[in-house]
Structure 1
C-alpha cells in the first residue's frame, strides 16, 4: 500500500509539473519581445540608410507597434523624395500619383471649418475650376504632428504636380491666361490651408523653409497670411523652430512682415538663419524685422544674408555682434555693401570659424583699426565678381597675414593673383583643402609644387572659370554659381 501511494504521488506530481510547464510555455509563446520605441526607430532609420525608404512601407503591416514606430519616420518630411534635383521651381514629380495621395491625406487632416472653406473655394460646381479636392475622411493618425521639415517650395511643387499636370492646353491666349490665374488661385488656396494646418499642428517642426529655386518671379505665389492663424495655436509650433530660411521669393505683400514678426515673437531657439531677398525689396521695416529675429534668439550659430545695399548692413551686423558674438560660428555674406561701421564690427566676431564673402564691396572703408589677429578661422572663402577688385584683394591679404595660421580650408578666385601665392604659402601653413578658381592653371600648379615643402595641401582643387555673363553687363544680385559654391 505505501508503495502504491508513493507511485500515485509521483505520477500526480509529474503531471502537475507538466501542466505548469505547459502553461508557462503558452505564456512565453503569447508574450512578444518588444524593443523600446527609440531602438525600433534607430533600426528603421538604419534600414533607410542601407536600402530604400520604400521598404519601410512593408513594415507597416507587421503589427500595430511596428506601424506606430514607422509612421513618424515616413512622415517627418514626406515631400523630400518626391522631386528630382532641378533648378526649376515646378519640376514634375517622379510619380505624380504619390503627390496626389500625399495631398489627399493632408487635406483630410483639416478640421471641418477649414475643409469646407477650402471646398467652397475649389468645388467645380461653384467655380469653373479644373481642380477637385478629395472627400473628407478621418485619418488613422495625426500625420501633420510628425512633420519636422517644411519647405514651402516643395509644398507648392506638390500641389502643382498633383492637380495641374493634367490641365489641357488651350490655343486661345485669353483662355491660357485664365487657366494660369485659376492655377495660381487654386494652388495658393490649398497652400494657405495646409500651411495653417502645419503651423497649428506640427509641434515637432524644426526646419521652416520659405524658399524657391525658380528663375521666373511671375510663377511665384505669395506666402500665406499668418494673420488668419490663431496665435495661441501657432506658438507651440514656432517655439520649436531651429532653422528658418527665406530665400528667392518675390515679396508681393506685407505677409512676409507679418510672418517675420511672428517668428521674432514666438521663435527663440533658432540657431540657423538664412535670408536671400532681392535688393529692391529691402526697406527699413524689413531690416528691422530681421534684426528683431536675430535679437530674440538665445543662441545663433549660423547666419546667411544676401543683397544688402546702402547702410542696411549696419543694423544686421550690429544685432549679430550685440547678441551672438560668443556663439556665432558661421557667417555667409553675399552682395553686401559694407560701411565703415559694419566693417569695424566684422573683426570683433572673434568666435567665427567659417567666413564666406561673395561679391561684397565697400572694403575701401577699411582702415588700420580693422585688426583680424584675434580671428581663429578654420574655413575662409572670398570670391569677387570683379577680377580687378583691389579692395577685396587687400582685405583677403590682410586676413591671410593676420589670421592665416589657423586656416584649414581656403577658397579664392582671381581676387588673389599669382603674385600673392607666396602669402598663402608663408602665412597659411596648416591648409589642408585649397579651392582655387583661376584660368591660369599650369602656373598655379607649378608654383604650389615648387613650394610643396612649405605647406601641406591634401586636396588642391584648381578650376577654370566658366561664365556665360557678358563682360559689358552690370553686376546683378543673382551671381554666377562660381561665387556661391562651397567646397
Structure 2
C-alpha cells in the first residue's frame, strides 16, 4: 500500500493528505519534487488561493505566460514603453486554471505591490493588469469555490469581462461561499452585473456573508442579492453585519426560501426589523451567533438551537432563550458587559434548563458560588472557557475556599479548560492542587512563579492526562521554568490549542 501511495496510484487519498497542508507553503513545495503526481497535486493547491498568501507578488508575472498571443504582444509593448523588459516564457502548468478562491480586494493589493516592485506607474497599469488577470482566470477554465467581492473606488471592470463571463459560466458554477465586503458607490454597476452573472450561473452557494450592509445602497443591489439568495438550492449559513441598520429591503425576508436548509445565522450590529421573524420559520437552524444587536431583536426570535453565541450589552431576555432551547443547547458562548446586572438570574436559568452543555465560554463573569454551582451541575461539560472580572468585595480567605470548591467540582468529563485573564492567577496553584478533572489541554495567562509551576507539575504527575498547557505570555516564559515543567507537559503558545465555539 505504501509503495502505491508513493508512486501516485492513489491520487484521491494523496490529494486529501496534501489539502491538509494548504496553509503550509514550504511543505507543499517540498512535496512537489517527489514525483509527477505529487507535483501536479501540490502545485494545484499552491495556486488555488495565491492572493491570500504572504508570498511576494512576483508570481503574478507567471500568469502572463497563459495570455493569448495578442494580449502578450500588447502587454509586452505596454511594459517596454515604461522600461520594463518582461519575458513571458512558457510554464509547466496553466496556473490560472487552478484558482479556487478569489478575493478581489486582495487581488488589487498583490497587483499594486507587483507594480510598485516593477517601478511602474500606479492606477492606470494596476487596473489594466487586474482586468487582464480577471479575464484570464475566467477563460482558463478555472471554477471558483469562494468569491469575496469588494472593490476600491477606482477599479472598473471592462465590459469584455462580463461578456467573457457569459461565455464561461463554469467560472461561477461551483461557488459555495460568497462574501460581500464594503462597496464603493463608484462600483455599484460592477457589483450589480457580477451579481446578475452569479444568479444565472450558480445554485450551489451554501454560505453567504454580507460583511457590511449599507441600507442606502442602490435598490438594484438588493434586488440582485435577493435573487441570488432565492436561486440557491441549499443555503446553510447566512452572516450579516448591519451597521445598526433597521431597513433590510427584503434581503432578510428572502431567506424564507431557505427555511428548510439554513443551519447557521450570524448577525452583527443589527437593529430591530420585523424581517428577522423569518428565522422563526427555519426549523433546521442549529447555530445562532448574535453580536451587538438590539435587545428587541433578541426578544423577537424563538430560539431552539444547539449552539448559541451572544455578545450584547443587554441580556435580560437570555433566561427565556435558555428555557426555550433547554436540553437542545450544547454549545454556549456569552460575552457580558460591566453594566450587566442579572448574572445570577442568567446562571440560575442555565442550571435549570440546559444540563446538556458540552462547551461553555463566558467572558466578563464574576467568580461566585452560583457559578461554581452551575459548573458542578454540567455533568457533560468537555470544554470550558472563563474570563473573570476582578472581585473586590470578597475576603481573600473566602475566595480561596470558593476556588477549592470550584476546583473539586469540575466535571470528570472536562478535557479543556481556558482560564483567561490575570485576576485568577494568584489562585492557579490552588486549582491545580484540588482539580481531579482529566484535563488534556489547559490555557493560563502566564507561568511566572515557582508556586504555580510546582502545583502544575504535581497535577501532571497525579492526573497523567494533561498533554498541553497554552500560555498567553509564552514568549516571556522563564527558560528554567519551561525546562522544569516540560519534563511533564508541553508548554505552547495558547493560540495553538485554543478552541472556539
Tell me if both proteins adopt one fold, taking TM over 0.5 as the criterion: yes
Aligned length: 381
Using the TM superposition, give the Cα deviation of residue 362 of structure 1 relative to its aligned residue in structure 2, in angstroms.
Answer: 6.6
Q: 1:241 aligns with which of 156, 160, 175?
A: 175
Q: 1:397 aligns with which of 319, 325, 329?
A: 319
The 5 A counterparts of 1:63-142 are: 64-81=36-53, 83=54, 96=56, 99-100=57-58, 102-119=59-76, 122-123=78-79, 125=81, 132=84, 134-142=86-94
Q: 2:277 aligns with which of 304, 322, 344?
A: 344
Q: 1:382 aligns with which of 310, 316, 321?
A: 310
CA displacement, residues 327-361 of structure 1 (integer Å, 9 cap, x when unaligned)? 10111111222323x24322221211111111222
Using the TM superposition, give the Cα deviation of residue 296 of structure 1 relative to its aligned residue in structure 2, in angstroms.
Answer: 0.7
The 5 A counterparts of 1:384-463 are: 384=312, 387=313, 389=314, 393-414=315-336, 417-420=342-345, 421-438=347-364, 440-443=365-368, 446-456=369-379, 457-463=381-387
CA distance in 1, matches of 2:200, 2:232: 10
Greater RCO, CA 8 A, separation 6+: 1
CA displacement, residues 204-242 of structure 1 (integer Å, 9 cap, x when unaligned)? 321112359xxxxxx775363566332333311111111
Asked if structure 2 preserves the Cα contact closer than 8 Å seen for 1:251 and 1:281, the reply is: no
Long gaps (5+) in structure 1: 1-31, 84-92, 168-178, 213-218, 467-484
CA displacement, residues 274-302 of structure 1 (integer Å, 9 cap, x when unaligned)? 11125365342222221111001111011
Long gaps (5+) in structure 2: 1-5, 391-498
Larger Rg: 1
Aligned twin of 1:35: 9
Asked if structure 1 preserves the Cα contact closer than 8 Å seen for 2:263 and 2:285, the reply is: yes
Aligned Cα RMSD in Å?
A: 3.4
Q: In the superposition, relative to structure 1, how do residues 437 and 42 fare at CA in structure 2: closer, same or farther (>3 Å)?
A: closer
Aligned twin of 1:298: 233
Richer in strand (by share): 2
Is 1:154 aligned to residue 91 of structure 2? no
Asked if structure 2 preserves the Cα contact closer than 8 Å seen for 1:330 and 1:354, the reply is: yes
CA distance in 2, matches of 1:228, 1:33: 41
Corresponding residue SS for 2:376: coil
Q: 2:250 aligns with which of 315, 320, 325?
A: 315
Aligned twin of 2:157: 224
Asked if structure 2 preserves the Cα contact closer than 8 Å seen for 1:313 and 1:337, the reply is: no
CA distance in 1, matches of 2:266, 2:352: 26
Is 1:329 aligned to residue 263 of structure 2? yes
Aligned twin of 1:195: 134
Corresponding residue SS for 1:268: coil
Using the TM superposition, give the Cα deviation of residue 325 of structure 1 relative to its aligned residue in structure 2, in angstroms.
Answer: 0.7
CA distance in 1, matches of 2:353, 2:14: 51
Q: In the superposition, relative to structure 1, how do residues 463 and 327 fare at CA in structure 2: closer, same or farther (>3 Å)?
A: same
The 5 A counterparts of 1:156-305 are: 156-165=108-117, 182-210=121-149, 222=155, 224-225=157-158, 228-229=161-162, 230-253=164-187, 254-277=189-212, 279=214, 281-305=216-240
CA distance in 1, matches of 2:105, 2:500: 23
